[in-house]
Amino acid sequence: MKYKLSQFGKKIEKVSGIKQLMDDLGQAMTVNKDMLMLGGGNPAHIPAVQRRFRQGVKDILESDRTFEETIGNYDTPQGNPAFLEALAGLLRNELGWSVTAKNIVLTNGSQSAFFVLFNMFAGRFEDGSYKKILLPLAPEYIGYSDVGLAANVELFQSFKPEIEYYDNNLFKYHIDFEKVRITDDVGAVCVSRPTNPTGNVVTDDEIARLSSLAKARNVPLIIDNAYGIPFPNIIFTEVKPYWDEQTIVCQSLSKLGLPGARTGIIIAAEEIVEALSEMNAVITLAPGSVGAALAYDIVKSGEIIKLSRDVIKPYYEKKAQQALNQFHYGLRGVDYCIHKPEGALFLWIWFKNLPITTDELYERLKKRGVLVVPGKYFFAGLSEKWDHADQCIRVTYSQDDKIVEAGINIICEEVKNMVSVH
């Protein structure tokens, strides 16, 4: 039976990039385990990190009170109070941020946090106006694209970047401040740092300029810090973490190694935290307890900083360089560029003269047992067509070395075969 759906239902049921990505990820991780998964954002199973969380589970199980409270009680709509206090202390001590527990709220994953935040600051307002989220740098995270509640209305406005070229087939995106304007129809500015999909890290100067522009228009600056400082610190360049009362910083425990715990963290002004806590109560009653319970000890002690700096960061930095070297070797003779890997879990490859779109390349690679993500899904809010969007793919290097090596070999072979044929 086919039921009639509301405008909201019709919008949510349509095919989306994030749904395709998560379907492919789930199939590769649980059903078709022979698939070479180079498309998702699942973090690696780093042995030292897994051992630490396994010990955390044992500690919870051996403490009757902690175990019972974790699985048998609701936390507050804001999140576990002890964890919030511990995290506020960590942010004060490590980063010098003037925050208390009242500046932090937990959510059931960062994706749900962006759903709420974007619809708080953009969409239809009581005076009849419609506001958007400004993404100053395209490409941006695939998961933003479909979170707007209003049907058939573009929630985002984004701009083409400036491109800086380096030796050895590398390039980097920069915000084009000649184009970026915060107009009356902008409700908030959002940028990820490091950026998913490209591994780009927006510079300290760019963050300062965005903050200044946002303050001048009295709109918040949202920084998606899922891969950033202070944890999980998957960032390979020197930058300063940034927060003030007009900035909303979004963290997560997922890339630390706990994606199944679905724990998002928002650091913001108290009134924003109160509003988000109210929405938690309405939508989910309270955020889940397991992530906060597992991470409490390492946050309280500061061990999370050492784990991120000494284990997680060098692990991914080494894998990024291995994958980059393999692409350079495998794509000899092909006209390609790779975004300078500055963080996150991905390489962003630009094929300038591919005879097909990367959407078609995705399908061809899928038939050969390799999953990547075509670039077209990462350009939400760009008003003009840009061929570049159909020339790029995102490849993750977070999986086992043998999987990554085999997948990259097939990608390079497929591309070289197409280029040589044409």
Query: Across the strands, what pairs with 186?
Result: 132
pLDDT digits (tens, 9 = 90+) for 184-230: 999 999 999 999 999 999 999 999 999 999 999 999 999 999 999 99
Q: Determine the pLDDT at residue 291.
A: 95
Asked whether residue 270 is domain-assigned, the answer is yes
Domain limits for position 417: 7-49+307-421
Asked whether residue 171 is domain-assigned, the answer is yes
Report which secondary-structure segment, H or E, holds 373: strand 373-374
Asked whether residue 254 is domain-assigned, the answer is yes
Report the number of distinct structural domains present in the chain. 2
Q: Determine the pLDDT at residue 151.
A: 59
* CA–CA separation, 35 and 367 (whole Å): 10
Asked whether residue 23 is domain-assigned, the answer is yes
Q: Determine the pLDDT at residue 14.
A: 67
For residue 183, what is the domain's CATH number? 3.40.640.10
pLDDT digits (tens, 9 = 90+) for 17-35: 566 666 765 665 565 668 8
pLDDT digits (tens, 9 = 90+) for 369-387: 999 999 999 999 998 889 9
Of 243, 270, 302, the last residue of a domain is 302
Same domain for 407 and 324?
Answer: yes
Same domain for 150 and 231?
Answer: yes
Same domain for 14 and 108?
Answer: no
Same domain for 233 and 327?
Answer: no
Which of the four pLDDT bands, split at 50, 70 and 90, describes residue 153?
low
Q: Is the pTM of this model over 0.75?
A: yes
Token representation of residue 251: 């963290």
Same domain for 127 and 188?
Answer: yes
Which of the four pLDDT bands, split at 50, 70 and 90, describes residue 15?
low
Q: Determine the pLDDT at residue 383.
A: 85
Of 272, 302, 332, the last residue of a domain is 302
Sign of CA dihedral 367, 373, 374, 380: positive
Same domain for 260 and 367?
Answer: no
pLDDT digits (tens, 9 = 90+) for 290-343: 999 999 999 999 999 999 999 999 999 999 999 999 999 999 999 999 999 999
The DSSP-derived string for 32-68 is -TTSEE-SS-PPP--HHHHHHHHHHHHHHHH-HHHHH
Same domain for 128 and 259?
Answer: yes
Q: Determine the pLDDT at residue 32.
A: 67
For residue 353, what is the domain's CATH number? 3.90.1150.10
Percent of the chain with pLDDT over 90: 81
pLDDT digits (tens, 9 = 90+) for 49-91: 999 999 999 999 998 778 888 989 999 999 999 999 999 999 9
pLDDT digits (tens, 9 = 90+) for 223-236: 999 999 999 999 99
Please, are residues 394 and 375 in contact by the beta-carbon 8 Å criterion? yes
Same domain for 245 and 353?
Answer: no
Please, are residues 319 and 398 in contact by the beta-carbon 8 Å criterion? yes
Please, are residues 236 and 261 in contact by the beta-carbon 8 Å criterion? no
